[in-house]
Amino acid sequence: MWKEFRDFILRGNVLDLAVAVIIGAAFGKIVDSLVNDVLMPPLGLLLGKVDFSNLFIDLSGKGYPSLAAAQQAGAPTINYGVFINNVINFLIIAAAIFFVIRLFNRLKVVKPTAPESAPTTKECPFCFTTIPIKATRCPHCTSELSS
């Protein structure tokens, strides 16, 4: 059982997947920081000093001053500001993946296809059997063929 498990883990696909997950998690943290620390503050300033991560709807009706205060009190909230941040994170990650794959596809070496060879057979127009291309008479129906 241990040998099978070791063989499974050491297969190339599993290792590639593990590396991709680790790099993806690290990339996700970088994008989170880009959105939360670089993009959202100027965007919030342009929209009237709005902190998107603090935008919420208080469903209890008590009127908490911040999302942290509402969550600490255990009030039910709809955190649409966090949702906006997550949508922007997703769009940035999707764009980055799109451009990486696009670049990869452009750099990928395309193997030349073999040129199509000239046909070596043709069909008899009278009996519809396959005959050599150079034949002047059909061996099956003995019809004369035009060249």
Residue 132 has φ and ψ, to the nearest 5°, of -60, 150
How would residue 130 be classed by pLDDT, with cut points 50, 70 and 90?
A: very high
Q: What residue numbers bound the domain in which 142 lies? A: 118-147
User: Cα dihedral angle (9, 13, 14, 18), rounded to 10 degrees?
Assistant: 140
Residue 12 has pLDDT above 70, yes or no: no
Is 30 domain-assigned? yes
**Nearest CA to 31 among 75, 116, 92, 82?**
92
User: Are 131 and 61 in a shared domain?
Assistant: no
Looking up tokens 């063989």 gives 7
User: Same domain, yes or no, for 99 and 138?
Assistant: no
Q: Is residue 112 part of a domain?
A: no
Q: Where are the beta strands (DSSP E) in the chain?
A: 57-58, 77-78, 121-123, 130-132
Same domain (yes/no): 33, 95: yes
Share of the chain above pLDDT 70, in %: 97
Domain count, the chain: 2
22 and 41 inside one domain: yes
